[in-house]
């Protein structure tokens, strides 16, 4: 195989994967330097790709890749934006998106961000046929998504009020499943622990679920234990610190503790054990969204588990492929989450 043929094969694979969707196709000199060949060889490879239809020349003379598959047929590409930091929750979403995209031949491109800046959102939306965004908050960037000519889908949050299709796995009010479960076990003193960003829409909704439920049950009482933290601080460590402070002061009194995330539950359980309190004998602990890992903790953590989002994600893929508009409610649910009854809760004896 000649040097030119090798370069053509490498570039074909990159184009099919969509690697040049968000970056300019390299000029001949850059390509020659990268591939360690002469400019003549690089030019010959580019001309071959132009003839094959994998590249196209723009009126200004620049060259860009065309979104096609290995057989030369048009191929759609979608971006998946997710926040920095490892999380089983992120992996569950990504796997569901990949499953849904496979049936439609759509290429999925993950992008990790620290904050969803306006510049990043604009670049991604303009470069792809559709965008999936997983974020707890958008900090005033909603209009960049709403005004997009491409379909945008928000995951795990509700931006339907801005005219944006939103897919929730834990819709508002689903916390009732947890609270009713604790009530049936006999708990009447139920605290809520949250150590997250003050502007986290998802956590704030979970707090509202607890507050609304408590207002409807006058025979119950409990405190909101809340510590505002910075972006991407360790929520388990922060929860451990918050609970340790209360326990050291001897001010914890509730028989049950609901935590905003599974990581907060892990920190809380460690703090309770460090102060010689047994879970669940002394305090029952449960959480929203076990993220697929709560059941493997010791003790296994009672939690809400997400429904499979693949069916509703396939609807999104259909929109991306057809270029059509979303029909029906903008706020979608993958289905009601189900309760995993772990070892971290039991009858309070009351």
Q: Determine, yes or no, domain membership for 345.
A: no
Contact between 255 and 223 (Cβ < 8 Å)? no
- Are residues 249 and 287 part of one domain? yes
Q: Using the predicted structure, report yes or no on whether residue 285 has a pLDDT greater than 90.
A: yes
- Kindly state whether residue 349 falls inside one of the protein's structural domains: no
Q: Based on the structure, what is the number of domains in the chain? A: 3
Please tell me whether residues 224 and 267 are part of one structural domain: yes
Compute the distance between CA of residue 125 and CA of residue 64 in angstroms, rounded to an integer. Answer: 17
Same domain, 149 and 134: yes
39 vs 218, higher pLDDT: 218
97/132 Cα distance (integer angstroms): 9
Whether residue 299 is found in the same domain as residue 315 = no
Q: Indicate if the pLDDT at residue 185 is higher than 60.
A: yes
Answer with the residue of higher pLDDT: 143 or 51.
51
Instruction: Kindly indicate the confidence band of residue 119, based on its pLDDT and cuts at 50, 70 and 90.
Output: low
Question: To the nearest whole percent, how much of the chain has pLDDT over 90?
Answer: 44
Task: Tell me the mean pLDDT in the region 63-85.
Answer: 78
Report the CATH number at residue 96.
3.40.50.2300
299 and 313 share one domain: no
pLDDT in tens, 189-233: 999 999 988 778 889 999 999 999 999 999 999 999 998 877 667
Q: Which long-range contacts (CB under 8 A, 24 or more apart) does 230-233 make?
A: 230/197, 231/114, 231/115, 231/197, 232/83, 232/84, 232/85, 232/114
CATH of the domain at 53: 1.10.10.10
Please check whether residues 300 and 188 belong to one and the same domain.
yes
181 compared with 292, residue with greater pLDDT: 181
Buried b (16+ CB within 10 A) or exposed e, 277-296: eebbeebbbbbbbbbbbbbe
Do 221 and 311 have their domain in common? no
Could you tell me the two tokens for 210?
């607890």
d(C-alpha 233, C-alpha 22), whole Å: 30
Tell me the residue range of the domain where 55 lies: 3-65
The answer to whether the CB of 241 falls within 8 A of the CB of 211 is no
Tens of pLDDT, residue by residue over 166-177, are 998 888 899 999
- Indicate if the pLDDT at residue 333 is higher than 70: yes
């Amino acid at each position: 195989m000649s040097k030119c043929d090798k370069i053509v094969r490498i570039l074909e694979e990159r184009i099919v994967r969509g690697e040049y969707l968000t970056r300019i196709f390299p000029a001949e000199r850059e390509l020659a330097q990268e591939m360690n060949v002469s400019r003549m060889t690089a030019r010959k490879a580019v001309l071959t790709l132009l003839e094959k239809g994998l590249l196209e020349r723009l009126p200004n003379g620049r060259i860009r890749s065309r979104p096609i598959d290995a057989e030369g047929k048009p191929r759609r590409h979608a971006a998946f934006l997710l926040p920095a930091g490892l999380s089983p929750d992120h992996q569950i979403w990504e796997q569901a998106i990949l499953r849904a995209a496979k049936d439609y031949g759509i290429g999925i491109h993950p992008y990790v961000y620290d904050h969803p800046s306006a510049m990043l959102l604009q670049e991604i939306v303009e470069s792809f046929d559709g965008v999936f965004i997983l974020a707890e908050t958008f900090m005033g960037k909603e209009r960049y998504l709403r005004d997009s000519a491409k379909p945008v889908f928000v995951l795990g949050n509700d931006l339907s009020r801005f005219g944006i299709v939103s897919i929730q796995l834990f819709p508002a009010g689903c916390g009732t499943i947890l609270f009713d479960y604790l009530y049936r076990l006999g708990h009447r003193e139920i605290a809520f622990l949250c150590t997250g960003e003050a502007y986290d829409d998802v956590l704030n909704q979970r707090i509202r679920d607890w507050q609304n439920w408590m207002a409807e049950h006058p025979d119950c009482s409990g405190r909101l234990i809340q510590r505002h933290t910075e972006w991407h601080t360790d929520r388990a460590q922060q929860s451990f610190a918050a609970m340790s402070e209360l326990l050291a002061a001897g001010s914890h009194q509730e028989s049950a503790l609901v935590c905003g995330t599974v990581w907060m539950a892990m920190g809380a359980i460690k703090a309770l054990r460090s102060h010689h309190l047994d879970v669940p004998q002394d305090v029952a602990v449960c959480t929203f969204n076990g993220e697929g890992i709560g059941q493997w903790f010791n003790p296994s953590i009672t939690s809400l588990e997400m429904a499979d989002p693949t069916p509703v994600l396939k609807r999104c893929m259909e929109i991306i492929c057809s270029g059509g508009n979303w029909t029906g409610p903008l706020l979608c649910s993958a289905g009601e989450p189900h309760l995993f009854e772990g070892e971290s809760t039991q009858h309070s004896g009351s």
